[in-house]
Amino acid sequence: MSIAAGPVARTAEALARELGGELLGDPQAPVTRIDTIDSATTGSLSFIRTERFAEAWVLSKASVGLINQSAAGQARELAQGRALILVPDADLALVRVLEMFAPPQAKPEPGVHSRACVAQSATIAASASIGPNCTLGEEAHIGDGCVLVANVFVGRGARVGAGSVLHPGVRVLDRCEVGERCLLHPGVTIGADGFGYRPGPQGPVKVPHIGNVVIGNEVEIGANSCVDRAKFGSTTIGDRTKIDNLVQVGHNSRIGRACLICGQCGISGSVKIGDGVIMGGAAAIADNLEVGDRAQIAACSGVMNNIPPGEVWIGIPAGPAREYKRNYAAFRMLGKMLPHLKRLMRADEGAL
């Protein structure tokens, strides 16, 4: 699906000027929509981040392309009859373009919808918007400019900071705290009980979880992700951390600032994650481990040991990427080596 530019189309020259990029080719090439490189048509803008995308540009019908300077080896030839805008980072430039072309968002009116259920002791800032079928418990607090779109539950004593937006189906349970300018997508649950049981004579015995969850400022949490409340104390998520859909954060975990956690990751209880950590999709961390600042965990990895700061780990069980790659290369050679090893073993047996 393409994204149209709305009533005001741009030329390649104007767009290059707004992005601070170098223009090659036709300055009057029109930009009326944004498309993927393979589905683009006349008037489309697409982007080129690698040489592979540059090859696809030759067959594309796009009028204008954003191209990484690192992938611009034959840019002047590629721009013939069209336009290319050279930028240091095509992905970051595309973010700015998407902001320019984004359709205007209707700002909800402040106030409480007639179908909302609000406890008498709850406090709501005058500039906040509480949509239909929202429920606010006793002593809940909703800050300035907050938007609870619809069907949002905020429990007893829970707090939502100024400027935060909670989409339909979000649950912020008792005594949990959401910081300022946060974005919680549909179905997020903050403060469900942690998964804690002890063996007993009649079967598992549930461990009470009487702590809460504290989320920092400018945190984004994707649809249907869950952050469990602490057994005691707080499960915490640091400022500017971004969490994808379907992520599980276990009780008493502490996630640092500006982390990126991709979809379907599982973080067990009492895990400590430093600042700037990146977790690829479906990665998992066992309980009570530590991940150092700026570490990276590859997709589908299973972390069973502490990760030092700045290291890249991969695999199941996860280990340092260089070591894993060497081991994997050796593993792939086993099929070719096995006949030779068998001959050597037979020779040794014959010598005996």
Could you read off the pLDDT of 157-205 as tens digits, one per residue?
Answer: 999 999 999 999 999 999 999 999 999 999 999 999 999 999 999 999 9
Query: How does the average pLDDT of the chain come out, rounded?
Result: 92
Least confident of 17-31, 39-53, 247-261: 39-53
Q: Assess whether 127 and 240 both reside in one domain.
A: yes
Asked whether residue 324 is assigned to any structural domain, the reply reads no
Whether residue 53 contacts residue 37, with contact meaning beta carbons closer than 8 Å, is answered with: yes
Whether residue 179 contacts residue 219, with contact meaning beta carbons closer than 8 Å, is answered with: yes
Give the total number of structural domains in the chain. 2
Residue type for 194, please? G
> What is residue 77's predicted lDDT score, i.e. its pLDDT?
72
Asked whether residue 278 is assigned to any structural domain, the reply reads no
Q: Assess whether 261 and 121 both reside in one domain.
A: yes
Model pLDDT for residues 303-349, shown as the tens digit of each residue: 999 999 999 999 999 999 999 988 888 888 887 888 887 788 887 76
pTM for the full model?
0.89
Q: Assess whether 201 and 223 both reside in one domain.
A: yes
Asked whether residue 149 is assigned to any structural domain, the reply reads yes
Domain boundary (231, 266, 301) is at 266
Model pLDDT for residues 59-87, shown as the tens digit of each residue: 899 999 998 887 766 666 777 789 999 99
pLDDT of 55 > 50? The answer is: yes
Q: Assess whether 52 and 143 both reside in one domain.
A: no
Asked whether residue 230 is assigned to any structural domain, the reply reads yes
- How remote is the C-alpha of 320 from its chain's centroid? 23
Q: Assess whether 144 and 231 both reside in one domain.
A: yes
Asked whether residue 41 is assigned to any structural domain, the reply reads yes
Q: Assess whether 124 and 261 both reside in one domain.
A: yes
Q: Write the CATH number for 174.
A: 2.160.10.10
Q: What is d(CA 246, CA 284) in angstroms, rounded to the nearest whole number?
A: 13
Q: Assess whether 137 and 236 both reside in one domain.
A: yes
Whether residue 228 contacts residue 193, with contact meaning beta carbons closer than 8 Å, is answered with: yes
Whether residue 256 contacts residue 239, with contact meaning beta carbons closer than 8 Å, is answered with: no
Q: Assess whether 23 and 159 both reside in one domain.
A: no
Domain boundary (234, 266, 298) is at 266
> What is residue 213's predicted lDDT score, i.e. its pLDDT?
98
User: Binning pLDDT at 50, 70 and 90, where does residue 105 land?
Assistant: confident
Q: Write the CATH number for 33.
A: 3.40.1390.10
> What is residue 7's predicted lDDT score, i.e. its pLDDT?
44
Asked whether residue 279 is assigned to any structural domain, the reply reads no
Is 209 known to be catalytic? no
Asked whether residue 66 is assigned to any structural domain, the reply reads yes
Q: Assess whether 43 and 129 both reside in one domain.
A: no
Q: Assess whether 136 and 94 both reside in one domain.
A: no
3-state secondary structure of 330: helix
Phi, psi of 181 (to 5 degrees): 55, 35
Q: Assess whether 118 and 262 both reside in one domain.
A: yes
Domain hosting 77: range is 3-101
Give kind and range of the element (H or E) at residue 248: strand 248-249
Q: Assess whether 76 and 119 both reside in one domain.
A: no
Looking at 113, 209, 251, 340, which residue is catalytic?
251
Domain boundary (65, 82, 101) is at 101
Asked whether residue 273 is assigned to any structural domain, the reply reads no
Residue type for 172, please? V
Whether residue 10 contacts residue 31, with contact meaning beta carbons closer than 8 Å, is answered with: yes
